[in-house]
Amino acid sequence: MNPKRKRRLIIALLAIAAAAVAVSLTVFALQQNMNYLYSPTEIDAGKAPMHHQFRLGGLVKEHSVQRSPDSLVVHFVVTDRFHDMPVVYKGILPDLFKEGKSVIVTGHMDGNHFVGTQVLAKHDSTYMPKEVAEAIRKAKAAERAQAAKRAAAAAPGGH
């Protein structure tokens, strides 16, 4: 192989190696910043990362919002109608935040409650975020499966 071809081959291999490193670093950085959405049922089942930030999605439970009179701390409950998750949030809530409406809260678990760092509320009366609708659908399916198991176990001859 003549020196000119050898130099071109080395340059091409270095360019490919640099591109591979850049892609690897980009993928690693994106994985670190991803926040997955979990419903209260999935959190209760232990599917959510307990020591990392993630998103909690569901509905704000009726009559659960409690505002602290002397600070910006708000306590409320997010539900998927099967399981409830108490949330503590310090900050100003969006104008569209209301009981019975869809909400996505970014934050982390602290014991048996969720500490929110950002609250996103839905924007109209018919829209529900795809992730929240999917989480509620999965929770309903899991509840139906549990009910079927209980019914089978309660039936005569069932164990």
Main-chain dihedrals φ then ψ at residue 85, nearest 5 degrees: -130, 115
For the purposes of burial, counting CB atoms within 10 Å of the CB of 100, is it exposed (0-12), middle (13-18) or buried (19 or more)?
exposed
Q: How far is CA 67 from CA 73, 84, 87, 90, 107, in A?
A: 6, 18, 12, 10, 19
User: Residue 31: its pLDDT value, please?
Assistant: 67
Cβ neighbours, 10 Å, residue 154: 8
pLDDT (tens digit per residue) in 25-52: 888 877 666 668 889 988 888 888 877 8
Beta bridge partners of 60: 78
99/105 Cα distance (integer angstroms): 14
pTM: 0.62
Residues 99, 56: contact at Cβ < 8 Å?
no
What are the residue ranges in the chain where pLDDT is below 70?
31-35, 123-129, 157-159
- Strand, helix or coil at 74? strand
